[in-house]
Amino acid sequence: MTAGISNEIADVVVIGGGVTGLSTALALAQSGVRNVVVLERSAVGSGGTGKSSGVVRCHYGVKSLAAMAWRSLPILRDAPDILGESAGFHETGYLVGVGENNLGALAANVAMQQSVGIDVEIIDHHQAQELWPKARLDDFAGFAYEPRAGYGDGHQTAMAFAGAARSLGVRIRQQISVASLLVEGGRVAGVTLSDGGTINAPEVVVASGVWSKALLGPLGIELAIRAQRAPILLVEPGEELGAVPVLSDLVSLQYVRMEGTASLLVGNSDHSDPDWADPDDYMNHADDDELLGAAAKFEHRFPGLGGAKVASTYAGCYDVTPDYNPVISGTPYEGLWVCAGFSGHGYKISPAVGRLMADLVLDGKSGDPDIDPEDFRLERFADNRLLLSPHPYVGAGSMR
Ligand SMILES: Cc1cc2nc3c(=O)[nH]c(=O)nc-3n(C[C@H](O)[C@H](O)[C@H](O)COP(=O)(O)OP(=O)(O)OC[C@H]3O[C@@H](n4cnc5c(N)ncnc54)[C@H](O)[C@@H]3O)c2cc1C
């Protein structure tokens, strides 16, 4: 065996081995594309995917995103049958609670979600309390509940996509970085690699999360993505909680889900003062202020859990666009695609995102009437036509 610099060809090169790139590669292979290569600079799932809280809910205000989450849910849930490996999915249900000022938005969003077939209903305080007996709910004015939602595991899901893609012939090369994108005239021609090699390809999908901006910039393509640090707490509740659903608390702006059988994972939903960070050099734990802020919100919501203790903390980075929604789009260069900027909510929609990206590469259009690719155009930022929920939640930013 000899080692050397390779010059290869592929039908499609996908840059990035997170859930987005791997789901795209799988969908391409399922559509019959034979020579797909995924290039990952580190290891599969080592980016935002490996830090994901994995919450799976269909509670969006944008119809395309709600439909994507709903199409994705059975794939994540039934991954052992569909992908051949588990996505670590737990069907706990999802409870979202809002204050008085957001009751109108809740009703409008739930009506839209039901119109695309999502199993969700408005429930009252009594029903919510039965679902979360230990939570204080008196400052919520209304709730919606999705019984089929829950949470999965980002890393397991990436591995499941990778396994299914490999079984259809996709090559996944890890520890190899794309150095630059090759273009000729008005179209993409392939990529150059960190080892000096090249791969020539007529189609290239940039699915490199927060690092996508650096690949596109040299071509004059402005991709407005920033890294927003997101601290996560793992909490020992100090007592048995039973089978509780994921809780989106849109009054205190936090989310809480079980982590295994005995711990809680607690995340922040307040994006009013983002901590913009360097995605390659950020503080990988919660600082004292973050701990105090999170503890105050937790104690307010769970006053009965006096024995709760923070067991550990870590942080990840969201790849945030100006409207907190992804870019799934062509570019000014024919054959060059962007699938990035999932802004902290790309796990739950990743199966449908891969399908949409593959459909755009192969047919130039969405195969799903409820998922409008115009929503995710790269040009929307320059055109000042941001993708915003028609019924946003006051105080909760644009992530729903
Ligand atoms: C703390 C946290 C909590 C989250 N919680 C949720 C949640 O509850 N629910 C939800 O739906 N979503 C959640 N998300 C968001 C979700 O995890 C992400 O949107 C999703 O995982 C992004 O996947 P990706 O494949 O687009 O990007 P990434 O996973 O970041 O993958 C991009 C990959 O590209 C590789 N790469 C970069 N540059 C190059 C290069 N030049 N050459 C080759 N490879 C390259 C990177 O190494 C990386 O592996 C959360 C994210 C974080 C950080």
According to DSSP, residue 374 is labeled G
Judging by beta carbons within 10 Å of its beta carbon (0-12, 13-18, 19+), is residue 350 exposed, middle or buried?
Answer: buried
Whether 15 contacts 204, CB under 8 Å: yes
Ligand 1 contacts (CB < 6 A) are 15-21, 39-42, 46-49, 51-55, 154, 177-178, 207-209, 211, 215, 230, 232, 316-318, 340, 342, 344-348
- Ligand 1 atom closest to residue 215's alpha carbon, by position in its atom list: 41
Please say whether the beta carbons of 158 and 92 come within 8 A.
Answer: no
* Dihedral sign (CA 348, 349, 352, 354): negative
DSSP 203-225: EEEE--GGGHHHHHGGGT-----
pLDDT the model gives residue 2: 58
Angstrom distance (rounded) from CA 56 to CA 347: 8
31 HSE (CA, 13 A, CB side): 21
State residue 3's pLDDT score.
Answer: 62
pLDDT on residue 6: 76
Domains delineated in the chain: 7-51+155-224+323-380 (3.50.50.60), 91-147+226-320 (3.30.9.10)
d(CA 130, ligand 1 centre) in Å: 35
| Closest residue to atom 19 of ligand 1, CA basis | 346
Residue 212 Cα to ligand 1 middle (Å): 11
Residue nearest atom 37 in ligand 1 by C-alpha distance: 208
Say what the pTM is.
0.98
Q: Token pair for residue 353?
A: 């995102």
**Ligand 1: nearest atom to the Cα of 176:** 43
Phi-psi label, residue 256: left if phi above 0, alpha if psi -120 to 50, beta otherwise: beta
Q: Is the dihedral of CA 286, 292, 295, 300 positive or negative?
A: negative
pLDDT, one tens digit for every residue, the chain (400 residues)? 656 677 899 999 999 999 999 999 999 999 999 999 999 999 999 999 999 999 999 999 999 999 999 999 999 999 999 999 999 999 999 999 999 999 999 999 999 999 999 999 999 999 999 999 999 999 999 999 999 999 999 999 999 999 999 999 999 999 999 999 999 999 999 999 999 999 999 999 999 999 999 999 999 999 999 999 999 999 999 999 999 999 999 999 999 999 988 899 999 999 999 999 999 999 999 999 999 999 999 999 999 999 999 999 999 999 999 999 999 999 999 999 999 999 999 999 999 999 999 999 999 999 999 999 999 999 999 999 999 999 999 888 766 6
Ligand 1 pocket, mutate which of 181, 284, 345, 356 (most atoms under 8 A from CB): 345
Q: Residues near 65 by Cβ (< 8 Å), separated by ≥ 6?
A: 325, 345, 349, 375
Contact 121, 128 (CB under 8 A): no
Taking CA atoms only, the protein residue closest to ligand 1 atom 3 is 52
Q: Is-contact 281 186, C-beta < 8 A? A: no
Q: How far apart are CA 145 and CA 24, in angstroms?
A: 30
Top mutation candidate among 41, 75, 76 for ligand 1, by most atoms within 8 Å of CB:
41
Determine the residue type at 206.
Answer: V
Closest ligand 1 atom, CA of 151? Answer: 8
**Residue 291, burial from CB neighbour count under 10 angstroms (0-12, 13-18, 19+):** middle
The string over 99-120, giving b where at least 16 C-beta atoms fall within 10 Å of a residue's C-beta and e elsewhere, is: beebeebbeebbebbeebebeb
Task: Name the CA radius of gyration of the chain, rounded.
Answer: 21
**Phi, psi at 157, each rounded to 5°:** -65, -40
Q: Convert the pLDDT of each residue in 243-267 to its tens digit.
A: 999 999 999 999 999 998 889 999 9
Strand partners, 191: 181, 199
**Amino acid at site 12:** V
141-173 confidence digits (pLDDT tens): 999 999 999 999 999 999 999 999 999 999 999
Query: Residue 240 carries which side chain, given as an amino acid letter?
Result: E
Alpha-carbon distance of 248 to 255, in angstroms, equals 5
Helix (H) / strand (E) containing 330: strand 327-330
